[in-house]
């Protein structure tokens, strides 16, 4: 007797279950991880443009000594918002965007674990970005630097609302980041396709997991510090001002307990992008998979033990500095492990120099240069000499722009064809890369030299005759070349989305599961949830293709309903068939209510605030109000 | 296959003879993981807040509390603690009840837990706080006062959220939403409530007991 298979899926049934009717309605209510992921990407890149324009204005101001293009107050606002924008509104959201789009595809799931929380994360990120930039309208942008030290940021020295925009805005955006991270962790731990045990998980997914775990334990420090700052500024509490028994250094500790892991959580998924691209373009599996994964996790953990190296010049006890100096040096080891694994993979394979690979190689070079100035700064005596100079600016732009933005651009060239169905133009991609690479080095390399020659960061101009003028001119030219390179990619992307060469489902012959879907993927991602038998399933399982995996090869259709598969944490064995929530207006409504709460706190209209708080409670109730059978039951 | 156990309606997966439940219990459920991670975030907030308290304390002068404030009174605090901690028992029993499908016991135990939690909150808000503010210090007095009210206030806010969750689960229980297979919301509320009680152990030890050492 033949085996009877019940629960097979058909594209028609899945289409019916998962379809979101295009239009304004579904634009506002969508919970599709692919649409949300793209929104994160586009919005994040818009903030890259804004933050980039801020830096260009600063560069124009610094082109020559004694210029007065902007006044000192504006300059303070520019560098403060440049840092805030690039860290919180560009790098983190764009990397979340890649994760949102790709993680469910890479692990063979039909959506994220909490689709509505996913939608909330995006809307809150957008609302918090608008909240922060609404300070521009009243000319009161945050102006105490992205790390906002007290006492400068307290109500005595900055009485205007500038810092309130900063503190409330970052608390607000933290809601988005936290919600997104919890979503990533549950998705990655509980929704991997059968057979994808942890040791078969793509390294990119490991990177997103490391980022999300870091957020869970690091971000509370920032939120708490900002709550305390607001209580001190607005309600007369005492935490940081010495007058009432507070300690200014408490802010620095709390900020950097968050701030240093934050730096790593930007770099970790970016390293994951590099690890996704290198094997594909070297035509061989990654060498040292286990070591790379352990290195990523080690960086995430060590990142919590190095915060005081931002405070070497503060005057803390020497024994503490020694310990933190040691842990800071330790970071070199896992970073080096990854670099050598990438080099070994390239050495043993046959690298194909297409644009994504070019960006990855550029990234490795810049990351190594940034990695050389890192240990220099981990040495306390050197750090105390060059602290707050352009040497530090050079270091962290090499590791953050080189270490995160170049992989992000590699990711755009690599995965945009999956999103749009069309390849980006190769020639313009290479033009963009070389402009960015040359521009970047012209912009940031001279900062090492100027820093050693004593140019301080965060000063809006400098005297003539210090020997700083020529290199500053070079930097400004480099900044515009870099900006031009970025612009070329944006134009390329927009142009290619309509006119580019059709990509097909697997243009690069990649090794992970996102290439087993159509480009762009169907709304349900996979007709059958595949069974994975390899670390490189697309290379080792010929039955995988744009039409999924047939049931005979292990594919699970789950009856073709609006559901996905829950699996066990370590071995990814099937445990439960989870009905997924449908489109919902509540994430957006909750965001609007929350935004009103934050506006109420800012303008201190307590009736307005109370109404907003009630609206928030109603939105939460509406969200959880049962409709049909979903996982929240 | 371990599907022989009593389970909620099973659905076919599309593999031969493989049927899986649509609702998971504990760690097989996404919602459980969401709550555990949310608690991890909240626990980190409290850990940092208590660390900040000690940071300010050890950087202040030799006398703590400073500014002539007396060490916290213990009698009321210990009564409040006993009431709060005892609320964990009925809440735990409520979870056990619904696992066996006992609707009535679920509602009763939830109500008992609510009552105890609300009593704690009432003692804090209507007896302890007014007494301190009138006779001793306010959040604006100094860093000690700020810390005391921020930490106990944040904990109190968590109690409020826990009570709201309790009321929600009670409402859903009356609607008959839960049975022996579907009770994720109950489980998540129970986890959260235990967390609020455990945090109070550290708050009590830090704010009330440690100044007496």
- Report the 3 state secondary structure along chain B: CCCCCCCCCEEECCCCCCEEECCCCHHHCHHHHHHHHHHHHHHHHHHHHHHHHHHHHHHCCCCCCCCCCCCCCCHHHHHHHHHHHHCHHHHHHHHHHHHCCCHHHHHHHHHHHHHHHHHHHHHHHHHHHHHHHHHCCCCCCCHHHHHHHHHHHHHHHHHHHHHHHHHHHHHHHHCCCCCCCCCHHHHHHHHHHHHHHHHHHHHHHHHHHHHHC
Mean pLDDT of A477-493: 98
Interface of A with B in 205-234 (CB under 8 A): 216-217, 219-221, 223-224, 228, 231-232
B22·A224 Cβ contact <8 A: no
Which of A236, A528, A575 is facing B140, going by the closest CB pair?
A236
A220·B33 Cβ contact <8 A: no
C-alpha pair distances (Å), A200 with each of A290, A321, A545, A611: 10, 40, 19, 50
Which of B20, B45, B48 is facing A576, going by the closest CB pair?
B20
Interface of A with B in 270-299 (CB under 8 A): none
The number of helices, as runs of H, and strands, as runs of E, in chain A is 21, 2
* Length of chain B measured in residues: 213
What is the distance in angstroms between the Cα of B87 and the nearest Cα belonging to chain A? 24
Which chain A positions have a beta carbon within 8 Å of B140's beta carbon? 235-238
DSSP 8-state symbol, A164: H
**What are the pLDDT digits (tens) for A315-369?**
999 999 999 999 999 999 999 999 999 999 999 999 999 999 999 999 999 999 9
Which chain A positions have a beta carbon within 8 Å of B27's beta carbon? 569
Q: Are B184 and B29 in contact (CB under 8 A)?
A: yes
Which of B18, B45, B144 is facing A245, going by the closest CB pair?
B144
In percent, the amount of chain A with pLDDT more than 70 equals: 98
* Length of chain A measured in residues: 633
**What are the pLDDT digits (tens) for A27-39?**
999 999 999 999 9
pLDDT of residue B181: 87
Tokens of A351: 């690298």
Mutate to test the interface with A, among B15, B48, B151 (most CBs of A within 10 A): B15
pLDDT band at A8 (very low <50, low <70, confident <90, very high): confident
Mean pLDDT of B38-54: 98
What is the distance in angstroms between the Cα of A76 and the nearest Cα belonging to chain B? 29
**What are the pLDDT digits (tens) for B72-90?**
999 999 999 999 999 999 9
- Nearest chain A residue (CA) to B42: A220
User: Chains A and B: how many Cβ contacts under 8 Å?
Assistant: 175
Mean pLDDT of A274-287: 97
Q: Are A97 and A41 in contact (CB under 8 A)?
A: yes
* Helices (H), ranges, A303-354: 318-330, 332-348
Which chain B positions have a beta carbon within 8 Å of A190's beta carbon? 30, 33
| H or E segment to which residue A444 belongs | helix A426-452
C-alpha pair distances (Å), A384 with each of A66, A260, A313, A392: 27, 18, 5, 11
With a cut of 50, say whether residue B4 has pLDDT above it: no
A575·B24 Cβ contact <8 A: yes
**What are the pLDDT digits (tens) for B97-125?**
999 999 999 999 999 999 999 999 999 99
With a cut of 90, say whether residue B61 has pLDDT above it: no
pLDDT band at B5 (very low <50, low <70, confident <90, very high): very low
**Coil, strand, or helix at residue A565?**
strand
Nearest in space to A161 (alpha carbons), one of A227, A233, A85: A233
Which of B48, B144, B147 is facing A220, going by the closest CB pair?
B48
pLDDT of residue B9: 77
Q: Enter the pTM of the model.
A: 0.96
Mean pLDDT of A379-387: 95
Mean pLDDT of A276-294: 97
- Nearest chain A residue (CA) to B173: A633
**What are the pLDDT digits (tens) for B118-153?**
999 999 999 999 999 999 999 999 999 999 999 999
Nearest in space to A169 (alpha carbons), one of A80, A251, A292: A80
B20·A574 Cβ contact <8 A: yes
CB atoms within 10 A of CB A290: 10
| H or E segment to which residue A74 belongs | helix A72-84
Which chain B positions have a beta carbon within 8 Å of A236's beta carbon? 139-140
A633·B182 Cβ contact <8 A: yes
Distance separating alpha carbons of residues A383 and A374, to the nearest angstrom: 10
- Nearest chain B residue (CA) to A580: B22
B146·A569 Cβ contact <8 A: no
pLDDT band at A4 (very low <50, low <70, confident <90, very high): low
pLDDT band at A425 (very low <50, low <70, confident <90, very high): very high
Mutate to test the interface with A, among B7, B9, B30, B49 (most CBs of A within 10 A): B30
pLDDT of residue B182: 87
Mutate to test the interface with B, among A226, A238, A245 (most CBs of B within 10 A): A245
Residue A296 sits at the vertex; the CA angle it makes with A292 and A300, to the nearest 5 degrees, is 165
pLDDT of residue B2: 36
Which of A4, A551, A577 is facing B11, going by the closest CB pair?
A577
pLDDT band at A1 (very low <50, low <70, confident <90, very high): very low
A577·B13 Cβ contact <8 A: yes
Residue A352 touches chain B, beta carbons under 8 Å: no
Question: Strand runs (DSSP E) across A211-255, as ranges?
Answer: none
Question: Strand runs (DSSP E) across A378-458, as ranges?
Answer: none
pLDDT of residue B213: 85
With a cut of 60, say whether residue A128 has pLDDT above it: yes
Average pLDDT taken over every residue of chain A: 95
Least confident of A5-14, A72-81, B52-61: A5-14
Interface of A with B in 604-623 (CB under 8 A): 621
pLDDT band at A629 (very low <50, low <70, confident <90, very high): low
**Coil, strand, or helix at residue A238?**
coil
With a cut of 50, say whether residue A309 has pLDDT above it: yes
With a cut of 70, say whether residue B63 has pLDDT above it: yes
Distance separating alpha carbons of residues A239 and A253, to the nearest angstrom: 13
Residue A316 touches chain B, beta carbons under 8 Å: no
């Amino acid at each position: 007797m033949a085996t009877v298979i019940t629960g097979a899926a058909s594209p028609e049934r899945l289409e019916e279950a998962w379809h979101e009717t295009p239009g304004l309605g579904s634009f506002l209510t969508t919970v599709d991880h692919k649409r949300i992921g793209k929104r994160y990407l586009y919005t994040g890149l818009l903030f890259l443009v804004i933050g980039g324009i801020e830096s260009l204005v600063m560069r124009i101001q610094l082109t020559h000594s004694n210029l007065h293009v902007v006044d000192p107050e504006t300059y303070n606002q520019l560098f403060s918002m440049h840092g805030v924008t690039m860290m919180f509104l560009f790098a983190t959201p764009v990397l979340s965007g890649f994760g949102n789009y790709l993680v469910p595809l890479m692990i063979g799931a039909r959506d994220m674990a909490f689709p509505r929380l996913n939608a909330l994360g995006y809307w809150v990120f957008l609302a918090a970005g608008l909240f922060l930039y609404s300070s521009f309208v009243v000319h009161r942008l945050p102006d105490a630097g992205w790390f906002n030290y007290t006492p400068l940021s307290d109500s005595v020295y900055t009485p205007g609302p500038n810092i309130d925009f900063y503190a409330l805005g970052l608390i607000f955006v933290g809601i988005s980041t936290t919600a997104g991270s919890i979503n990533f962790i549950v998705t990655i731990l509980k929704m991997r396709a059968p057979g994808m045990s942890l040791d078969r998980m793509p390294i990119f997914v490991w990177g997103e997991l490391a980022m999300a775990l870091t957020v869970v334990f690091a971000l509370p420090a920032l939120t708490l510090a900002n709550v305390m700052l607001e209580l001190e500024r607005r309600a007369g509490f005492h935490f940081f001002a010495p007058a009432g028994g507070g300690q200014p250094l408490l802010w620095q500790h709390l900020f950097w307990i968050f701030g240093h892991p934050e730096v790593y959580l930007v770099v970790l998924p970016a390293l994951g992008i590099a690890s996704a691209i290198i094997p594909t373009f070297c035509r061989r599996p990654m060498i040292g998979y286990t070591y790379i994964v352990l290195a990523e996790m080690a960086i995430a953990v060590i990142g919590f033990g190095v915060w005081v190296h931002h405070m070497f010049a503060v005057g803390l006890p020497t024994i503490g500095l020694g310990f933190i100096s040691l842990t800071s040096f330790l970071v070199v080891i896992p970073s080096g492990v990854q670099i050598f694994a990438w080099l070994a993979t390239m050495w043993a394979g046959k690298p194909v120099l297409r644009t994504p690979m070019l960006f990855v190689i550029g990234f490795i070079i810049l990351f190594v240069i940034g990695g050389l100035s890192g240990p220099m700064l981990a040495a306390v005596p050197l750090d105390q000499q060059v602290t707050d100079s352009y040497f530090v600016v050079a270091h962290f732009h090499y590791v953050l722009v080189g270490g995160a933005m170049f992989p992000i651009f590699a990711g755009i060239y690599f995965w945009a064809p999956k999103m749009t169905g069309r390849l980006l133009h190769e020639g313009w991609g290479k033009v963009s890369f070389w402009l960015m690479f040359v521009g970047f080095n012209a912009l940031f390399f001279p900062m090492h030299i100027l820093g050693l020659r004593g140019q301080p960061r965060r000063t809006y101009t400098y005297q003539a005759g210090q020997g700083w003028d020529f290199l500053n001119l070079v930097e400004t030219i480099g900044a515009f070349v870099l900006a031009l390179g970025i612009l070329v990619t944006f134009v390329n992307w927009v142009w290619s989305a309509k006119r580019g060469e059709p990509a097909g489902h697997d243009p690069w012959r990649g090794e992970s599961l996102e290439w087993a879907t159509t480009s762009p993927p169907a709304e349900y991602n996979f007709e059958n949830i595949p069974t994975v038998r390899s670390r490189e399933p697309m290379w080792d399982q010929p039955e995988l293709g744009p039409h999924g995996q047939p049931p005979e090869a292990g594919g699970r259709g789950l009856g073709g309903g609006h559901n996905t598969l829950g699996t066990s944490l370590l071995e990814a064995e099937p445990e439960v068939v989870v009905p997924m929530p449908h489109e919902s207006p509540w994430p957006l409504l909750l965001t609007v209510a929350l935004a009103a709460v934050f506006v109420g706190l800012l303008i201190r209209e307590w009736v307005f605030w109370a109404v907003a708080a009630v609206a928030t409670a109603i939105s939460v109730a509406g969200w959880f109000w049962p409709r049909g059978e979903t996982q929240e039951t | 296959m371990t599907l022989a156990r009593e389970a909620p309606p099973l659905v076919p997966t599309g593999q031969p003879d493989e049927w899986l439940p649509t609702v998971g219990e504990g760690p097989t459920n996404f919602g459980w993981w969401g709550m555990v991670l949310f608690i991890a975030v909240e626990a980190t907030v409290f850990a940092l807040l208590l660390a900040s308290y000690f940071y300010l304390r050890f950087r202040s002068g030799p006398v703590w509390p400073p500014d002539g404030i007396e060490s916290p009174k213990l009698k009321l605090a210990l009564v409040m603690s006993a009431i709060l901690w005892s609320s964990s028992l009925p809440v735990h029993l409520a979870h056990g009840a619904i696992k066996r499908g006992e609707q009535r016991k679920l509602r009763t135990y939830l109500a008992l837990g609510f009552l105890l939690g609300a009593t704690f909150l009432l003692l804090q808000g209507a007896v302890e706080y007014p007494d301190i503010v009138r006779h001793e210090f306010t959040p604006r007095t100094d860093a000690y006062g700020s810390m005391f009210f921020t930490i106990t206030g944040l904990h109190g806010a968590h109690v409020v959220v826990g009570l709201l969750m309790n009321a929600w689960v009670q409402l859903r229980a009356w609607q008959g939403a839960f049975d022996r297979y579907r009770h994720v919301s109950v489980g998540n509320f129970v986890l959260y409530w235990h967390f609020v009680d455990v945090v109070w152990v550290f708050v009590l030890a830090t704010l009330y007991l440690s100044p007496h050492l």
